């Protein structure tokens, strides 16, 4: 029987856990009549994890074809997992990952695999956040952190447990995709970059490790935030240039109104306040357009030179757009249209002209 799944088990100092994990996994697979490839990716664990894996390999066949990938030095969880998948036998249709420290019950592997084989889903996740799932032995602090981290990722995915380190998926999801090995959250990376249409979550109880130490330190929280920023950036890039332009414009309206309101509260007359609000909003928009909407260009003195010229052009374009806004508004009002639809049409035409000017004259020309 050919293996249908290549399961990566990343290890760093798991010599005390690996034998028990592999034996339980073996038993579950034999019971289910399944056979898989396991790729242990070890980063030169000083406790001899690699030797343990090698010694056990012959005892696990034929249910488990165990391969060992040794990377010499500790290079991080995500990169270990991604390298493991890259090393998997190309004929195998499903890939997966689980921890070596017995936090993830191996008995679930056949269940997750079955879900994939039925063809109704592209990703099968062992989840703590669906009914029947949960965590054992976590204090309030760790629960709160995990909850917060999941909440921050909520706009990126509807999956209840996108932080899970235990999941299987259809390898065609990776076709033409590049996963970036940042931090610990490989599943989140996969969900955002590959955008699977169908996902199932199978509940499980996450048990805290009893042997060895977690490799998760404070630095990893920062890494997670960096990872999130990258993923949000990638998601926004899908908007396209015009979409980003409109989004920044909408933000500019908020900035404009906030400053106008603040200045008027401070006693500034409405008209000079509006000029100040316009100036700040246009400058904010300029900064965002320059660094995000349009790709940044040039460097050093040329960069500064380009900066001032671009700024001048952008402000000029925005003043023209404002003029057009007022003109269209006045004409439509005179024609008898109500204020709200008139101003919406006016903003629409002004935004269009502003975009065309910013593109052709401000940011993308020399």
Specify the residue for token string 């998926």.
169
CA 355 to CA 344: how far, in whole Å?
A: 16
Interface region with Mn ion, contact rule CB under 5 A, candidates 52-60, 179-187, 191-199, 203-211: 203-211
DSSP code for 267: T
CA 9 to CA 28: how far, in whole Å?
A: 16
Residue 103 binds ligand GDD (CB under 6 A):
yes
- Is 166 or 245 the residue whose CB approaches ligand GDD more closely? 166
Residue 101 binds ligand GDD (CB under 6 A):
yes
Interface region with ligand GDD, contact rule CB under 6 A, candidates 74-82, 85-93, 271-279, 323-331: 74-82
Least CB distance to ligand GDD at residue 206 (A): 7
Residue 101 binds Mn ion (CB under 5 A):
yes
DSSP code for 208: P
Least CB distance to Mn ion at residue 208 (A): 7
Least CB distance to ligand GDD at residue 61 (A): 23
DSSP 33-61: T--EEEEEEE---TT-HHHHHHHHHHHHT
- Is 69 or 350 the residue whose CB approaches ligand GDD more closely? 69
**Maximum C-alpha span of the chain:** 87
Residue 77 binds ligand GDD (CB under 6 A):
yes
With contact defined as beta carbons under 8 Å apart, do 358 and 321 qualify? no
Residue 165 binds ligand GDD (CB under 6 A):
yes
Residue 248 binds ligand GDD (CB under 6 A):
no
**Which one, of 52, 50, 62, lies nearest residue 20 by Cα?**
52
- Out of 70, 117, 145, 146, name the contact with ligand GDD by CB under 6 A: 146
Residue 164 binds Mn ion (CB under 5 A):
no
Cα 304 → chain centroid: 33
Residues 6+ apart with CB under 8 A from 173: 122, 123, 190, 194, 196
Residue 41 binds ligand GDD (CB under 6 A):
yes
Least CB distance to ligand GDD at residue 292 (A): 29
Residue 11 binds Mn ion (CB under 5 A):
no
Residue 201 binds Mn ion (CB under 5 A):
no
Least CB distance to ligand GDD at residue 236 (A): 24
- By CB under 6 A, how many residues form the interface with ligand GDD? 25
How far CA 6 is from CA of 36, 92, 95, 169, in Å, comes to 6, 7, 5, 10
Residue 124 binds ligand GDD (CB under 6 A):
no
Pattern 235-254, Mn ion, x by CB under 5 A: --------------------
Q: Both tokens of residue 156?
A: 């990126």
Cα 279 → chain centroid: 34
**Which one, of 125, 226, 216, lies nearest residue 168 by Cα?**
125
Pairing of strands 123-127, 199-203: parallel
- Which residues contact Mn ion (rule: CB under 5 A)? 101, 103, 209
- Which residues contact ligand GDD (rule: CB under 6 A)? 10-12, 14, 41-43, 74-77, 80, 99-101, 103, 146, 163, 165, 184-185, 209, 214-216
């Amino acid at each position: 029987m050919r293996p249908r799944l290549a399961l990566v088990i990343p290890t760093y100092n798991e010599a005390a856990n690996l034998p028990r994990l592999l034996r339980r996994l073996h038993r579950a697979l034999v019971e289910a009549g399944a056979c898989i490839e396991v790729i242990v990716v070890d980063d030169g664990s000083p406790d001899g994890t690699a030797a343990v894996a090698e010694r056990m390999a012959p005892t696990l066949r034929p249910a488990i074809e165990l391969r060992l990938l040794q990377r010499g030095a500790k290079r991080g969880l995500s990169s270990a997992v991604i390298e493991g998948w890259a090393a998997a036998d190309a004929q195998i249709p499903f890939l997966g990952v689980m921890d070596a420290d017995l936090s993830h019950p191996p008995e679930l592997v056949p269940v997750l695999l079955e879900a994939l084989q039925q063809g109704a889903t592209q990703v099968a996740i062992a989840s703590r956040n669906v009914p029947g799932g949960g965590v054992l032995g976590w204090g309030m602090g760790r629960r709160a952190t995990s909850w917060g981290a999941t909440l921050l990722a909520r706009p990126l995915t509807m999956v209840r447990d996108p932080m899970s380190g235990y999941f299987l998926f259809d390898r065609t999801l990776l076709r033409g995709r590049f996963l970036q090995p940042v931090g610990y959250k490989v599943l989140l990376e996969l969900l955002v970059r590959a955008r699977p249409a169908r996902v199932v979550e199978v509940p499980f109880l996450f048990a805290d490790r009893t042997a060895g130490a977690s490799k998760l330190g404070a630095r990893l929280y920062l890494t997670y935030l960096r990872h999130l920023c990258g993923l949000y950036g990638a998601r926004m890039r899908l908007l396209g240039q015009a979409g980003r332009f409109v989004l920044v414009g909408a933000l500019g309206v908020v900035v404009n109104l906030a400053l106008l309101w603040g200045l008027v509260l401070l006693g500034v007359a409405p008209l000079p306040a509006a000029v100040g609000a316009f100036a700040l909003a246009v400058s904010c928009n300029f900064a965002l357009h320059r660094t995000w909407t349009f790709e940044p260009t040039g460097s050093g003195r040329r960069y500064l030179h380009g900066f001032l010229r671009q700024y001048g052009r952008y402000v000029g374009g925005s003043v023209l757009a404002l003029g057009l806004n007022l003109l269209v508004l006045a004409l439509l009002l005179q024609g008898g249209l109500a204020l709200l639809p008139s101003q919406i049409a006016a903003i629409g035409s002004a935004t269009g002209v502003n975009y065309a000017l910013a593109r052709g004259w401000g940011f993308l020309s020399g």
